[in-house]
């Protein structure tokens, strides 16, 4: 036990004193905030400042639609009216599109059967924000138009068509609290992002550390006093402690930020993400288990490699579960109890990340948490068994990267 | 007193290659033991089994009079052939860490590390990072790390490889001091001249087999002194003496190979009758010659 502790302490001190630790402690939250900003800010400016032309046979309807479009202040649209429009005007509009004088035009036909036909022609495909705005505006304008046609006074229209915003509340532990789907999404995303970064980063870190000891030929010196299994255990504990230290720093910083008056100012009136102590503890447990799974896996792999470059070739093995989990993020957020959400959060390599999403969306039933933790512990045990056997032999093998049949043979050595 | 370490007919095979076959040897306190053989002959495999990094397929290892146990390694200092240091650690931190792994408390480890650095003239780099040091300096640090816990058995695999002559001499002197202090020292090498100079006992291995072993003098005494060098002036007719198998005469220096069991004293008398002799040396075969002869015989057999 003494040597496990000594190896762990050495590993911990070397990493915590190192430059990489300081850089990542600052850089990861900065990068994270940057990504968040990059996601939120442009969405406000998506589809803005468009120059559109409304071409309709009915000037009154065109004017209504124009009012609706201009009413959306965020969009900053410039809308011209061409009414009444004749079929021949379409060619003129095309030439204006070619000359880039306008971004698009809305062509409205009102056939005899009374069902309007609306077409949006633009130079850019996939501008779903503008399409979305048009959709809402056209339909509102149509409703207003039909209501007027039914003989209701134009002055009554605003009252009749007034919108209501839905207020969302989160019911938890017998209390309703204001919440917002967007903030929940970003918060879940944030938790998963930090968890992923730390789990995978420190998992790879163990692999790199094994390679470094192998290339610097320190292993044989160490093995004359320390058992291979003690070295592996010390390394896992030491580097895991570095990860926990980093998370503790972030939590402390986050807590300080959130309790400052500044944060109070930002947050008033908006919904705050809801986190309980239980969730924080569970997130730490998922970090520890996730880290244990990835790091034992990479320790075993690293022992079969000779250089860091060779180890890098195995990195996609860690990236696949991460992609899978992040690809599922919006699905899990809106369907936290779907069978797919449950299944992916039971799959050990994805558990830590997807469970972080699920905590913020809707707290999963206790049995699901227990089952996912149990599955993780079992898979860690299996991976540890395999890795420690490969590690024991691999660290003394120099030269080339081991092939799969060689690794299988190593498993049988005593 | 039981030997410090004894190997009893240990064997190890990998996949389709026999690394070591039925190797037995023992090392007593206060002796310098040389494990000699060409590259790939099984030296490192034998050493790894001796200190329990790998387990022999058959045979047994005993250390300090008891069957092998990991606890005994506290009393062993091992310098592997493939050796390294933690590059990012400071020299002193590294030495203290290695000392602690061998059971020393940090204060004792630091004091001894300081003494050793002084003795090997590297005190000025003690606070530097290892990666900043030259290769020779790093070798000295590895050497200190091996000896810090004052081991009773010192095992060094090719300790002199890659060292410049000055540092090699410093290391040799240190090993001799340790031997005088009663430590048992084993080192492996493919350089016969080093063994001949330093060792009290040897084991020559070839293809995993021990082809010769025992005290250096005893091994050598098994081989006849059958080479003669004579420096002379005068009549060279004595070179036709019946004891001579073959000879080369370089104007005044004759190098002679005697017939088996020939009487060299009779040759000396015959030479003195005809010529004046400045030098007459009955040379013992060098270890290298013995090795070639022994292995040659084995291969022919």
Q: Chain B residue with minimal CA distance to A2?
A: B101
Cβ pairs A/B, distance under 8 A: 57
Name the strand (E) or helix (H) holding A133.
Answer: helix A128-149
Is the Cβ of B89 closer than 8 Å to some Cβ of chain A? yes
State how far the alpha carbon of A258 is from the alpha carbons of A192, A215, A264, B176, B263, in Å: 19, 45, 7, 68, 102
**pLDDT at res. A12:** 93
How far apart CA A97 and CA A121 sit, in angstroms, is 9
Is the Cβ of A398 closer than 8 Å to some Cβ of chain B? yes
- Give how far A218 is from chain B: nearest CA, Å: 4
Cβ-defined contact of B85 to A10 (cutoff 8 Å): no
Query: What digits encode the pLDDT tens for the residues A331-369?
Result: 887 787 888 888 888 999 888 888 887 877 778 888 999
Is the Cβ of A231 closer than 8 Å to some Cβ of chain B? no
Cβ-defined contact of B53 to A224 (cutoff 8 Å): yes
Is the Cβ of B83 closer than 8 Å to some Cβ of chain A? yes
Is the Cβ of B102 closer than 8 Å to some Cβ of chain A? yes
**pLDDT at res. A182:** 67
Is the Cβ of B78 closer than 8 Å to some Cβ of chain A? yes
Confidence of residue A271 (pLDDT cuts 50, 70, 90): low
Cβ-defined contact of A225 to B102 (cutoff 8 Å): yes
Nearest to A398 among B73, B82, B97 (CB): B82
Helices (H) and strands (E) counted in chain A, each on its own, are 18, 6
Q: Per-residue pLDDT for A414 more than 80?
A: no
Cβ-defined contact of B82 to A217 (cutoff 8 Å): yes
Tokens representing A202?
């420190």
Confidence of residue A237 (pLDDT cuts 50, 70, 90): very high
Pairing of strands B201-206, B209-215: antiparallel
ipTM, 2 dp: 0.75
HSE (side-chain half, CA atoms, 13 Å) at A311: 25
Query: What digits encode the pLDDT tens for the residues A67-119?
Result: 888 877 766 788 888 878 788 888 888 888 888 888 888 888 877 666 778 88
- Give how far B165 is from chain A: nearest CA, Å: 24
Tokens representing A215?
């290339």
Cβ-defined contact of B97 to A6 (cutoff 8 Å): yes
Please classify residue A223 by burial: count the beta carbons closer than 10 Å to its beta carbon, then call 0-12 exposed, 13-18 middle and 19+ buried: buried
- Give how far A389 is from chain B: nearest CA, Å: 13
Is the Cβ of A113 closer than 8 Å to some Cβ of chain B? no
Nearest to B101 among A217, A220, A225 (CB): A225
Is the Cβ of B259 closer than 8 Å to some Cβ of chain A? no
Cβ-defined contact of A222 to B101 (cutoff 8 Å): yes
Per-residue pLDDT, averaged over A33-50, amounts to: 70
Q: What is the DSSP letter of A168?
A: P
Residues of chain B positioned with their CB less than 8 A from the CB of A14? 86, 88-89
Tokens representing A224?
């004359």
Query: What digits encode the pLDDT tens for the residues B136-182?
Result: 888 889 999 999 999 999 999 888 887 888 888 888 999 999 999 99
**Residue A166: helix, strand or coil by DSSP?**
coil
Maximum CA pair distance of chain B?
Answer: 74
Residues of chain A positioned with their CB less than 8 A from the CB of B53? 220, 223-224, 396
């Amino acid at each position: 036990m003494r040597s496990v502790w000594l190896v762990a302490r050495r590993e911990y001190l070397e990493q915590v004193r190192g430059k990489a630790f300081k850089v990542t402690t600052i850089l990861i939250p900065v990068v994270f905030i940057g990504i968040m900003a990059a996601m939120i800010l442009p969405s406000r400016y998506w589809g803005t400042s468009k120059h559109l032309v409304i071409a309709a046979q009915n000037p009154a309807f065109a004017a209504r639609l124009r009012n609706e479009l201009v009413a959306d202040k965020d969009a900053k649209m410039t809308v011209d009216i061409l009414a009444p429009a004749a079929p021949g005007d379409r060619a003129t509009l095309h030439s204006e599109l070619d000359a880039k004088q306008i971004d698009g035009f809305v062509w409205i036909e009102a056939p005899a059967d009374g069902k309007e036909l609306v077409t949006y022609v633009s130079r850019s495909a996939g501008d779903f924000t503008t399409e979305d705005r048009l959709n809402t505006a056209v339909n509102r304008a149509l409703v207003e138009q039909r209501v007027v046609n039914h003989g209701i006074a134009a002055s009554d229209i605003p009252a009749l068509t007034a919108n209501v915003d839905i207020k969302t509340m989160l019911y938890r532990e017998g209390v309703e609290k204001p919440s917002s789907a967007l903030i929940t999404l970003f918060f879940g995303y944030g938790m998963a992002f930090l968890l992923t970064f730390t789990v995978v980063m420190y998992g790879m870190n163990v692999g790199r550390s094994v390679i470094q000891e192998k290339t610097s030929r320190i292993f044989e010196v160490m093995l004359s006093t320390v058992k291979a299994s003690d070295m592996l255990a010390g390394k896992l504990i030491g580097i895991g402690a570095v990860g926990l230290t980093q998370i503790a720093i972030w939590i402390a910083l986050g807590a300080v930020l959130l309790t400052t008056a500044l944060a109070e100012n930002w947050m008033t009136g908006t919904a705050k993400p809801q986190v309980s102590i239980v969730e924080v503890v569970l997130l730490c447990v998922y970090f520890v288990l996730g880290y244990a799974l990835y790091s034992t896996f990479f320790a075993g792999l690293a022992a079969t490699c000779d250089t860091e470059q060779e180890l890098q070739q195995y990195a996609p093995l860690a990236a696949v579960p991460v992609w899978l989990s992040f690809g599922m993020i919006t699905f899990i957020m809106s369907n936290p109890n779907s069978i797919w959400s449950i299944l992916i959060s039971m799959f050990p390599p994805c558990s830590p990340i997807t469970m972080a999403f699920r905590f913020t969306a809707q707290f999963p039933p206790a049995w699901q948490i227990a089952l996912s933790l149990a599955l993780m512990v079992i898979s860690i045990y299996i991976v540890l068994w395999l890795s420690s056997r490969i590690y024991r032999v691999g660290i003394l093998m120099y030269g080339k990267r081991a092939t799969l049949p060689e690794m299988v043979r190593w498993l049988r050595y005593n | 007193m039981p030997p410090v370490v004894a190997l009893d007919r240990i064997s190890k095979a990998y996949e389709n290659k026999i690394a070591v076959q039925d190797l037995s040897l023992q090392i007593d306190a206060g002796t310098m033991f040389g494990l000699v053989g060409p590259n790939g002959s099984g030296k490192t495999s034998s050493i790894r089994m001796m200190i329990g990094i790998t387990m022999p397929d058959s045979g047994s290892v005993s250390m300090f009079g008891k069957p092998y146990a990991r606890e005994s390694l506290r009393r062993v200092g091992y310098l592997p052939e493939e050796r390294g240091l933690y590059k990012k650690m400071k020299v002193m931190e590294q030495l203290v860490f290695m000392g602690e792994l061998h059971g020393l408390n940090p204060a004792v480890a630091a004091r001894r590390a300081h003494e050793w650095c002084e003795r090997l003239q590297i005190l000025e780099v003690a606070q530097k990072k290892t990666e900043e040091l030259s290769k020779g300096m790093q070798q000295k640090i590895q050497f200190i790390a091996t000896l810090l816990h004052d081991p009773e058995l010192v095992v060094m695999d090719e300790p002199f490889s890659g060292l410049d002559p000055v540092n090699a001499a410093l290391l040799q002197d240190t090993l001799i001091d340790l031997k005088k202090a009663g430590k048992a020292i084993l080192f492996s090498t493919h350089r016969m001249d080093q063994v001949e100079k330093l060792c009290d006992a040897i084991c020559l291995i070839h293809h995993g087999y021990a082809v010769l072993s025992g005290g250096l003098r005893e091994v050598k005494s098994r081989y006849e002194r059958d080479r003669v060098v004579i420096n002379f002036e005068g009549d060279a007719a004595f070179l036709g003496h019946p004891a001579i198998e073959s000879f080369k005469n370089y104007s005044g220096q004759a190098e002679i190979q005697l017939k088996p069991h020939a009487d060299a004293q009779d040759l000396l008398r015959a030479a003195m009758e005809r010529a004046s002799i400045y030098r007459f040396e009955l040379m013992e075969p060098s270890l290298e010659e013995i090795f070639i002869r022994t292995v040659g015989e084995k291969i022919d057999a």
